[in-house]
Amino acid sequence: MPLDAFEARLTFIELLRRLNASVQSATKCAQFALRYQDLSEDLYSCILEELDKTSLNARINILYFLETLCENSIRTGYEEYVEMVTRDLWEILDKVVPPAQGALANVALARKALDNLKQKSIITSENYDGVVAMLSERGKLVSQEEFQTQKELPSFSKEEILRRMEEDRERHKRMRENIWVIPPGDAMQIEFENAWETTSSLDEDDYELMREENAILEQASR
């Protein structure tokens, strides 16, 4: 039986609150969002609301869920969620790494999530560069504030710490798997772009090497 908008919101919020670092958890939540894509704006607003309310650990889980949601959206040909995430990327990262005590723990994982989104061509290089710059500045700000107020840092329970450690291990496992993922698009073009980004600029040593090789080639052709 189809759910109405109110019931769908309640169910989706419950799924968001049960998110952990596992692929199964994120996939189940993404499948629900796509099943009720006619309510996409309502369901997406639930994500932003939960990012305001939930713990810092849970915000990281939601961020990595968004990666799964975008992947599945592209796979099914429904890219409205991708468009909304791209549009609100700055706001999302501002919530995941807020200017608050304790947020420093989320900086590195948030950066890795952005790397994944870029690698999979979910966000553009322009989107990526702008948000990474913001994230870097936020990390410096939070680090400085936490250093100055060490005695006032919020304490985390043993259960929260152990859960975060377990979820971080799960995320690192997924990251290793993502190394082998080829983003959608023309394979030769992707390979060219990767080579372009990782190749250093020409310098005087390169020109000297080319002159030497040209001289050798010229002598060999005589």
Q: pLDDT, tens digit, for every residue of 115-172?
A: 999 999 999 999 999 999 998 888 888 777 654 555 444 555 667 666 667 776 766 6
CB of 70 within 8 A of CB of 116? no
* pLDDT at 71 exceeding the cut of 90: yes
DSSP secondary structure code for residue 201 in this structure: P
pLDDT of residue 152: 46
CA of residue 202 relative to chain centroid, distance:
32
CB of 110 within 8 A of CB of 148? no
Give tens-digit pLDDT for 82-119.
999 999 999 999 999 988 777 788 888 899 999 999 99
pLDDT of residue 146: 57
CB of 72 within 8 A of CB of 23? no
pLDDT of residue 31: 96
CB of 117 within 8 A of CB of 67? yes
pLDDT of residue 92: 97
Share of the chain above pLDDT 90, in %: 47
